[in-house]
Structure 1
Amino acid sequence: MASGYGNNGGRSRCYPFWQEVLGCYVVNSGEGESGKKKCVPALEDYHECLHHRKEALRTMKMQAAYRKAEAAHPRENAPKAEQIRSLGLLGKEEEAANVLAQR
């Protein structure tokens, strides 16, 4: 986690955030509980780097908004259910017979 080594041997992607948290704790350690509160933003950044929860939430909200906007404005010339089911093949037996006769 905070060892500083990534999967490939180098520094991990979140190590700079962990260093920032440690530095904040060292600087504010003498202030007691109020010192810890000063480090909350740095700790949140570190946890976001590890888990990407805020980014995932933002992505889900954007996708929901896109779906809502798409549902509010349906496509022009969208095919109807009957057209999709038939794929334009039903009712064209004569054309199919002509194509088969040419072979």
Structure 2
Amino acid sequence: MASGYGLNGGQNRCYPFWQEVLGCYVVNSGEGEAGKKKCVPALEDYYECLHHRKEALRTMKMQAAYRKAEAAHPRENAPKAEQIRSLGLLGKEEEATALLNQR
């Protein structure tokens, strides 16, 4: 967890945050529970570095807002199903099998 070594033998990406947490605990160790409460922001930063929960939540909210905006304003020139069929993508199974049987 806090060994400080990453996967490639170098420094772990979260090691500086862990050092900050340890430093906070050392400085505030004589104050008991009040000292631990002072270290909560540093501990939150370390957990965010490990798990990226706040970042993931922010990304999910942005994606939901984008989907909502897309649903509110659909594309003006979006092709209809009939137009897609006319491109030969759908409903042409008989012609495709006939073409394959010619070979």
Q: TM-score normalized by structure 2?
A: 0.83
Larger Rg: 1
RMSD over aligned Cα, in angstroms? 4.0
What's 1:70 paired with? Answer: 70
Rounded Cα–Cα distance in structure 1 between residues aligned with 2:27 and 2:82 = 70
Sequence identity percentage: 91
Alpha-carbon displacement from aligned partner over 1:4-52 (angstroms, at most 9, x marks no partner): 0000001000000000000000000111101000000000000000011
* 1:89 matched residue in structure 2: 89
Q: Give 1:84 deviation, angstroms.
A: 2.0
Q: Using the alignment, how far apart are the partners of 2:21 and 2:32 within structure 1?
A: 16
Structure 2 counterpart of 1:40: 40
Which range moved further: 85-94 or 36-45? 85-94
Q: TM-score, length-normalised on structure 1?
A: 0.83
Residue 87 (structure 1) shift: 2.4
Query: Which residue is equivalent to 1:14?
Result: 14
Q: Which runs of 5+ in 2 are unaligned?
A: none
Structure 1 unmatched ranges of 5 or more: none
1:51-77, Cα deviation, whole Å (9 max, x unpaired): 111101100000000000011001111
For residues 5 and 100 of structure 1, the distance between their equivalents in structure 2, rounded to whole angstroms, comes to 59
